[in-house]
């Protein structure tokens, strides 16, 4: 069940405010009243969004965003009594854009030490683990494969979205397999479906959607030891005060504790599976 990935916000430590200089390019300047008051004065909460179902999805026909982190952006905008605005970006640029002040929040950002030196984080909305999805009939993948070492062989190609946490994790873990970096979610799945790549490296819940959509041949494994296990959170500007960070932490804490985020995840998963039929 996806609900097992939900982490208890009560156990999470509030993000520390890292006091840095204000970005000269930030559209919402820090005021004496606080960052969110500046967002309220602007009337718009800008959310940097890179596509990764079921976290963030974008309808190519309408440009509308969905997914449970997109829903959380809309709900936080409601709390602030402003309009949500989604700013399309890529996983390669989602941190740099936040640093440059192009948006106020980055959606569905994995909490890593490297990123924490560049931006702040909210408490996690859920836990993230990387899994490996592949064709069960692929002769390159041994039936008893259980670890990254079992699939790290010459001739094996791993498809991953460029710039993501899973890209960094798998690139550091393999020595013999080939890493195929592709720009988006659709491209990585097509690479495995068309057999240009052998294994899809992605979040375990995202890969669960892939295997459910292709039940005849697709399987997934959570490698042991874990390839990566991190909290998934909002990325926040570095200049936010502790009080500003606490605002969004309290917002998330309540939604985790009541099971609301779990409900949003299941809704997003259902939407993805309906669209795959």
Domains, the chain: 2-126+231-276 (3.40.190.10), 128-221 (3.40.190.10)
In the predicted structure, residue 264 carries a pLDDT above the cut 90? yes
In the predicted structure, residue 21 carries a pLDDT above the cut 60? no
Q: Which residues contact 220 (CB under 8 A, 6 or more apart)?
A: 131, 132, 133, 134, 204, 207, 208, 210, 211
- What is the Cα–Cα distance from 163 to 182, expressed in whole angstroms? 9
Percent of the chain with pLDDT over 90: 72
Residue 218: name the closest of 237, 195, 240 by CA.
Answer: 195
Comparing 169 with 33, the larger pLDDT belongs to 169
Mean pLDDT of 215-239: 93
Q: Which residues contact 33 (CB under 8 A, 6 or more apart)?
A: none
Among positive and negative, which fits the CA dihedral 77, 80, 82, 85? negative
Candidate from 16-20, 58-62, 153-157, 206-210 with smallest mean pLDDT: 16-20
- What is the Cα–Cα distance from 63 to 51, expressed in whole angstroms? 12
In the predicted structure, residue 26 carries a pLDDT above the cut 80? no
276 pLDDT tier (thresholds 50, 70, 90): low
Question: Does residue 146 come out as left (phi exceeding 0), alpha (psi in the -120 to 50 range) or beta?
Answer: alpha
In the predicted structure, residue 74 carries a pLDDT above the cut 90? yes
3-state secondary structure of 186: helix
- What is the Cα–Cα distance from 189 to 212, expressed in whole angstroms? 13
pLDDT of the residue at 208: 86
Eight-state DSSP code of residue 194? T
71 pLDDT tier (thresholds 50, 70, 90): very high
Buried b (16+ CB within 10 A) or exposed e, 181-197: bbeebebbbebbbeeeb
Alpha-helical regions (H) of 183-241: 185-193, 204-213
CA distances from 136 to 133, 179, 205, 217, 233 (A): 9, 20, 18, 6, 33
In the predicted structure, residue 31 carries a pLDDT above the cut 80? no
Peptide bond into 225 cis (omega under 30): yes
Report the chain's mean pLDDT, rounded to a whole number. Answer: 88
- What is the Cα–Cα distance from 267 to 1, expressed in whole angstroms? 13
Mean pLDDT of 204-233: 90
């Amino acid at each position: 069940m996806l609900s097992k990935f939900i982490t208890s916000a009560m156990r999470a430590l509030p993000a520390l405010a890292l006091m840095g200089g204000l970005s000269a390019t930030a559209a919402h300047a820090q005021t004496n009243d606080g960052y969110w008051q500046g967002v309220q004065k602007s009337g718009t909460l800008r959310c940097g969004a890179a596509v990764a179902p079921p976290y963030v999805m974008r309808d190519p026909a309408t440009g509308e965003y969905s997914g449970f982190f997109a829903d959380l952006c809309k709900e936080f905008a409601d709390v602030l009594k402003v309009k949500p605005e989604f700013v399309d970006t890529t996983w390669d640029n989602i941190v740099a854009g936040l640093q440059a002040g192009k948006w106020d929040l980055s959606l569905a950002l994995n909490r890593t030490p490297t990123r924490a030196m560049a931006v702040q984080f909210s408490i996690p909305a859920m836990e993230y683990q990387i899994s490996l999805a592949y064709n069960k009939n692929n002769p390159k993948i041994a039936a008893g494969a259980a670890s990254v070492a079992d699939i790290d062989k010459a001739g094996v190609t791993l498809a991953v979205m460029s710039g993501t946490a899973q890209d960094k994790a798998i690139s550091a873990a393999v020595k013999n397999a080939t890493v195929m970096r592709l720009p988006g979610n659709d491209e990585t799945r097509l690479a495995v479906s068309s057999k240009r790549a052998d294994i899809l490296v992605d979040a375990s819940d995202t890969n669960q959607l892939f295997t459910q959509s292709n039940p005849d041949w697709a399987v997934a494994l959570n490698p042991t030891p874990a390839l990566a296990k991190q909290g998934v959170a909002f990325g926040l500007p570095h200049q936010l005060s502790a009080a500003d960070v606490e605002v969004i932490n309290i917002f998330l804490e309540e939604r985790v504790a009541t099971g609301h985020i779990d409900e949003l995840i299941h809704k997003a998963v259902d939407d993805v599976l309906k669209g795959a039929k």
